[in-house]
Structure 1
Amino acid sequence: MKYTLGDIAQALGAEAAGDLSLPISGVAEPAVAERGELALAMEPTFAEKLGEGAAEAAVLWPDADWQAMGLKGAIFAPRSRYVLAGVARVFAHELHMNEGIHPTAIVEPGAEIGEGARIGPFCYIAKGVRIGPNALIFNHVSIGLDVRIGADAVLHPQVHIGPRVVIGDRFICQPGATIGGDGFSFVSPSRDAVEEARESGTISEASRTTGFVRINSLGSVTIGHDVEVGANATIDRGTISDTRVGDGTKIDDLVCIGHNVQVGRHCLLCGQSGVAGSTVIGDRVVLGGKAGLADHLTVGSDVIVAGASAVSSHIPPGRVMMGNPAMKMELNVESYKAIRRLPRTMAKLDALQKLVSKHFPNG
């Protein structure tokens, strides 16, 4: 579908200048943009690249001299990534599915499918499921007993949703994610090595267990509105109470959320981060990629945990944490600087020790 430069500016609510009737067929990076494409050059560092492409219009930073760049029109982006999100929505590829329920899908008696919902090939919808209107459920999705899913959901291929899961409106789930799998809960018949190691730091013959007994997860998962879950992410159901994810939270690929975890509203959990069982996370928390949180912790609202950090203690609200073990960012930076200085410091200490030994050979 083609738009004009003015159409796009209006859709973004952004200021524009020049020939607003210019037809725009798509977007591209500045150096490779063709005529008819909108070059995305939201920062001054992209200015030189514009000359390498053939774009007649671009998204630029505020107050950019678009005419000096040889452009016929421009849209101005006071906050570049936010405008980029809007541009991406305008030109997003539509999701195509045939209407209705595919003949190979299995919908058990008693399941309720909302008006306008579409279900693709080889899906399984269990008894008691309720799916809201306009849902798009792609091929090979399985939805367990008594699940509730709100309106306008998009479930991509190979998504698996366990029994009794409750999900709000506008849910998006990428391929391969599993929501509501059994939690990783096991106990030994007698005091085991892990318990002894925690208490004493040792392992004795008496604590060597002969095996583990499963604790089945009787709870489920409750997910709010406007939540997204990335490819191959997992959210385990609770042992007794539900695991919970709040409104607006976005979960990246390969994220693992353990049983009984409570995640607040508008959080970002980046790729390969993990939250161990029964940890409580406040609102607007960001976990960088590969960040790990131990079990039974409390993380306050407005916390940022840098990538690859390992959190093993409670975090009060509003802190930026970094490192392994995670500590306040400024302390981690100073600690890292100290570690970098250690070789030089040790060399100086060694030289001083030799000097002292030379002048005082008998100590």
Structure 2
Amino acid sequence: MFRLEELVARLGGELVGDPATVVRRVATLDQAGEGDLAFLANPKYQSRLRDCRASAVIVAPAARALSDRPLIVTHDPYAYFARVAQLFNPPEAFAPGVHPTASVASPVPSSVSVGAGASIEAGVTLGEGVVIGPGCRVARGASVGARTRLHANVSVYADCVLGADCIVHSGAVIGSDGFGFARERDGSWIKIPQVGRVVVGDDVEIGANTTIDRGALDDTVIGKGVKLDNQIQIGHNVRVGDYTAIAGCVGVAGSTTIGARCMIGGQAGIIGHLSIADDVVVSAGTLVTKSIMKPGVYTANLPVQGHADWVKNFAHLRHLDALVDRIRALEQRLDEHKPE
């Protein structure tokens, strides 16, 4: 638990009300009770402040007069809430050491924790404070930066690089072969060896069962501060710029470059060999089929509708070209019959 004055001393902000007010956890406006610290991040919910039972609330300057409860006033209540939540919920501490059932063929710093059944092959470099969870495999020549944590059953393939302070969730695969094949005349396929690496920057989070393919010749690169949700597919030779966030079930095909500070919505698809500028937002479910050269929000999907309506509308779309041709013919006839 913390007194409000302690939180403000650590995180900044302006304290309004009793500095000795004690809070034990963070909660939503609706669910908060005595001892909770709530937050108002979206002005459209400000009417809920009246009935909020929290001991204190994090608000923006515009909302400081809306409650007589103790307040922490800050320009970004949601970011402040996130920092407070980190204080209340610090990462799990792991005792350093190597589990007796782990297989280790590389030097392990004394501050590193290696879980049951993990495999660390020859030539691996581990930074201080690394946590290798149960069942993980770190293949030959790979590198894991300081304080990075691999949850259970993560696979890091040979020669791949993970930066410092990363979090990789269970089932993620870093450095699997990219989808590279050449086709013979008879229709069979020749596998192209994938000899690049995956290079992941510092402070990256990679969600459960996300896969990042190694480069075919050059490296696949994930910039610093990137956040990847669960079940994302990143193809070979993709480059993702610093601080970009990608939501679940997104597929990014090979050799595409995504800029810095982008946000890619869930189930979006990005085809290969494209360039996406910095500060682009791609809405959920959008299929990106051409490069995006300017910042902005891009959307290409249809809202859900009843099946009968969809069939009718799709039938109209099928005849759209013919309709355009008829309109052009009518316009031409009108032009021909215009009085001189």
Paired residue for 1:104?
101
Give the direction of change, closer, same or farther, for the CA distance of 1:40–1:318 in structure 2 (3 Å limit): closer
Does 2:127 match 1:132?
yes
- In the alignment, is the contact (CA less than 8 A) between 1:43 and 1:60 conserved in 2? no
Q: Pairwise mapping of residues 1-363 of structure 1 onto structure 2 (< 5 A)? A: 2-50=1-49, 52-65=51-64, 69-71=67-69, 73-108=70-105, 111-190=106-185, 209-323=186-300
CA distance in 1, matches of 2:5, 2:234: 44
CA distance in 2, matches of 1:187, 1:47: 59
Give the direction of change, closer, same or farther, for the CA distance of 1:3–1:293 in structure 2 (3 Å limit): same
CA distance in 1, matches of 2:167, 2:215: 21
TM value normalised by structure 2:
0.83
**Partner amino acid, structure 1, of 2:250:** S
Give the deviation of 1:30 after TM superposition: 2.2
Q: Which runs of 5+ in 1 are unaligned?
A: 191-208, 326-338, 350-363
CA distance in 2, matches of 1:43, 1:300: 28
- In the alignment, is the contact (CA less than 8 A) between 1:43 and 1:61 conserved in 2? no
CA distance in 1, matches of 2:148, 2:251: 25
Give the direction of change, closer, same or farther, for the CA distance of 1:29–1:301 in structure 2 (3 Å limit): closer
Paired residue for 2:337?
none
**Partner amino acid, structure 1, of 2:117:** F
Give the deviation of 1:65 after TM superposition: 5.0
- In the alignment, is the contact (CA less than 8 A) between 1:224 and 1:248 conserved in 2? yes
**Partner amino acid, structure 2, of 1:297:** L
Give the direction of change, closer, same or farther, for the CA distance of 1:26–1:122 in structure 2 (3 Å limit): same
Give the direction of change, closer, same or farther, for the CA distance of 1:252–1:102 in structure 2 (3 Å limit): same
Give the direction of change, closer, same or farther, for the CA distance of 1:53–1:305 in structure 2 (3 Å limit): closer
Deviates more, 1:54-63 or 1:5-14: 54-63
Give the direction of change, closer, same or farther, for the CA distance of 1:239–1:8 in structure 2 (3 Å limit): same
Give the deviation of 1:253 after TM superposition: 1.2
CA distance in 2, matches of 1:44, 1:318: 26
CA distance in 1, matches of 2:64, 2:191: 67
CA distance in 2, matches of 1:45, 1:177: 38
Q: Which runs of 5+ in 2 are unaligned?
A: 303-312, 324-340
- In the alignment, is the contact (CA less than 8 A) between 1:246 and 1:264 conserved in 2? yes
Q: Secondary structure at the match of 1:113?
A: coil
Alpha-carbon displacement from aligned partner over 1:4-25 (angstroms, at most 9, x marks no partner): 1111122221111111111211
Q: Secondary structure at the match of 2:97?
A: coil
